[in-house]
Structure 1
Amino acid sequence: MAEDIKTKIKNYQAAPFDTRFPNQNQTWNYWLNYLGFHYCEKTMTAKRGDVSVCKWYQSTYQSLCPISWVSAWDDHWAEGTFPGKI
């Protein structure tokens, strides 16, 4: 199953339409995918699982979010001042 997910992630082109975010303002979409990636990564690491399943969230927020936002969030994450609760 992990190979199937890895194949899908490798062939992934762009973020699909998400019905939870039908409006033009996609800020909440960016935020949830960024948090989802870090939550998934933290959970899979704690369970000693395969972290590659979390790459879907990462590729989604990277293809949707403005680069400046992601770099600012990464900086906050590294400093330990990130406002999201994971």
Structure 2
Amino acid sequence: MEEEIELKTAPADFRFPTTNQTRHCFTRYIEFHRSSCRCTTAKGEESNDCERFAKYYRALCPGEWVEKWNEQRESGTFPGPL
């Protein structure tokens, strides 16, 4: 018997009322990476908070952007506050 998959996306955020979700995506990416240090050290990799933050930015952001931002973080040229 096949397992049912429940699909969800990031919840609506009053800070981003328009249909253009570019800023929402960028903010969720930053929120995840700001909290990832705390999630990893304080709660471990399997924390529900960490999973929730990861799902939000992954649901909103195109994969190409995430790859580019990851490369920028590694090289120290990421344009956002982390």
TM-score interval, smaller chain = 0.7 to 0.9
Tell me the number of residue pairs that the alignment of Structure 1 and Structure 2 aligns. 74
Over the matched positions of the two proteins, sequence identity in percent amounts to: 36
Q: Name the residue aligned to 2:3.
A: none
34, 37, 45: which one pairs with 1:42? 37
Cα offset for 1:54? 2.1
CA shift at 1:12, angstroms? 6.5
- TM-score normalised to structure 2 length: 0.75
The unaligned stretches of length 5 or more in structure 1 are 1-10
CA distance in structure 2 between the aligned counterparts of 1:71 and 1:37, rounded to whole angstroms: 15
Higher RCO (C-alpha 8 Å, min separation 6): 2
| Counterpart position of 2:50 | 54
Larger fraction in helix: 1
Corresponding residue number in structure 1 for 2:28: 33
Which runs of at least 4 in structure 1 moved beyond 6 Å after TM superposition? none
Contact 1:21/1:29 (CA < 8 Å) preserved in 2? yes
| Aligned counterparts of 1:44 and 1:59: Cα–Cα separation in 2 | 14
Could you tell me which runs of 5 or more consecutive residues in structure 2 were left unpaired when the two chains were aligned.
1-5
Larger radius of gyration: 2
